[in-house]
Amino acid sequence: MRIGIPKEMKDSESRVGMTPAGVAELTKRGHEVYVQHTAGENSGFADGEYEAAGALILPSIQQVYETADMVVKVKEPVEPEYSLVRQGQVVFTYFHFACDRPLTDAMMNSGAVCIAYETVQKDDRSLPLLIPMSEVAGRMAALNGAYYLQKTKGGSGKLIGGVPGVLPAKVLVLGGGTVGEAAARMAAGMGAEVTITDISLPRLRQLGMELPVNVHTLYSSEYTIRKLLPETDVVIGSVLVPGDKAPHLINREMLKLLQRGSVLVDVAIDQGGCFETSHPTTHSHPIYEVDGIVHYCVANIPGAVPNTSTMALTNATLRYVVALADKGWRQACKDAAALHRGLNIVDGKVTFKAVADVFGLPY
C-alpha cells in the first residue's frame, strides 16, 4: 500500500503522524511510504532519517495526498486540506467530528474512509489511541503546576519538592484516570505531598497500591475538596465523564479557599474544564489569573513536547496502521473490533452513531 505522511497544517501543531521507526516497519513489510518535506522537523525527525528508513520525500502536501492510498496524520484535516482528500482514500487521524460540522460535511463529500483515533476502542472499553496523549498531558500538568508556582511566574513562590528543613508543596489531583495517575506520579517524583481523588473505589484501591507513599488517595466530594483547598498549592483537574461535559468541581466562590498564588491546571479543558473559572488557553498564552489564582488551561498540552508525543503516538497507532496497510481497511476492520469502532465516515455516510446523532444525520 502507498502510505502518505503530510506535514500538519493546524496552527501550532508540531507533531507528525509517524516516526522514522514506524516508517521502517512499513517499508520492511513491502509498503511504500511518502513523507512530505520537513513533515517531521518540528518533532525532531529530519527528512534524511525518513529516507534512511525507506521513505520517499515529496515536496508538497498536494503530492502526498495525490499519491497515498492511506494518509496517516495527527490532527483532523484543516480547511485547505479538505479538497485534497480523495474518494476511497483512507484517512487515519484524530478527527473529533462531533464538534466540527464543516469537517464532517467535507469528509462526507470527499468519499474518503475516515477512521478516527479517538473512537478506536478495545472490548474492555479502553481507548488505546487516546491513552498515550493522556500519559503525556498528566506528566506535563505536574511540571507546569510546579513551574507556575514560581513567584516570577505569578505563583506563591513555593518550590514543589521543598528542601531539607522546609516542607514540600501540596498537590491535589482531581480524577484518578490516566491523566491523574501520570500527574500524581510526576508530582510525587518531584517530592510534592500529593492527594489524588476519584469517585471509583476500585480505582482508588488500585492507585493506592501502585503509587508512591507520598501519594494519598481520597474519595471525591465537594466536602473533601473544600477541606483540602486551604492547604493546597497546585490543583490538577483530570476528571472525565465519557460523552459529557466535565463537572465543575471548583466554582468561583471556592477560589477564596485557596492561598493567593496557588495554581490550577485544568487538563479537562477539552471537555469544558472542571473549574468554573477555566477557559481554554494556548501555548503562546498559557495562563491567566482569577482572584489571585493562576489558571493554566492549555487545550493541547502534548503539543509542547512533540518529540515525545510523536513517538508515544506512533507506538500506539503503528499496529493499526500495519493492519490497515497489510489487509486493506475492510478486512482489517472485520478482523479487529477495536479498529471497526474507529470507522466514522465511509463512502459519504456517517457510520459512528454519536456523530450522526449530534448532527441529526442518518446512521
Computed on alpha carbons and rounded to an integer, the radius of gyration of the chain in Å comes to 22
Catalytic entry in 198, 233, 266, 270? 270
Q: How far is the CB of 58 from ligand NAD (least distance, A)?
A: 30
Alpha-carbon span 182 to 135, nearest angstrom: 6
Q: How far is the CB of 103 from ligand NAD (least distance, A)?
A: 18
Amino acid at position 21, single letter: A
Q: Of the candidates 110, 156, 214, 220, which one interacts with ligand NAD according to CB under 6 A?
A: 220
Q: Of the candidates 52, 99, 241, 354, which one interacts with ligand NAD according to CB under 6 A?
A: 241
What are φ and ψ of residue 21, in 5° steps? -65, -40
What's the grid cell of residue 44? 525532531
CA 326 to chain CA centroid, Å, is 27
Q: Is 270 a catalytic residue?
A: yes
Q: How far is the CB of 129 from ligand NAD (least distance, A)?
A: 11
**Is the C-alpha dihedral spanning 119, 125, 130, 132 positive or negative?**
negative
Q: How far is the CB of 169 from ligand NAD (least distance, A)?
A: 21
For ligand NAD, the binding residues in 246-305 under the rule CB under 6 A are: 247, 267-271, 299-302
Catalytic entry in 37, 96, 248, 340? 96
Q: Of the candidates 1, 137, 172, 218, which one interacts with ligand NAD according to CB under 6 A?
A: 137
Q: Total binding residues for ligand NAD by CB under 6 A? A: 30
Alpha-carbon span 282 to 104, nearest angstrom: 25
Contact between residue 72 and residue 17 where contact means Cβ atoms under 8 Å apart:
yes
Q: Of the candidates 27, 38, 63, 200, which one interacts with ligand NAD according to CB under 6 A?
A: 200
Comparing every residue's Cβ against ligand NAD, the nearest one is: 177
Q: How far is the CB of 224 from ligand NAD (least distance, A)?
A: 10
**Is the C-alpha dihedral spanning 150, 155, 158, 159 positive or negative?**
negative
- Taking the least distance from each CB to ligand NAD, the nearer of 67 and 206 is 206
What's the grid cell of residue 327? 489487509
Contact between residue 179 and residue 237 where contact means Cβ atoms under 8 Å apart:
no
Q: Is 124 a catalytic residue?
A: no
Residues 6+ apart with CB under 8 A from 213: none
Q: Which residues bind ligand NAD (CB under 6 A)?
A: 133-134, 137, 174-180, 197-200, 203, 220, 238-241, 247, 267-271, 299-302
Active site residues: 96, 270
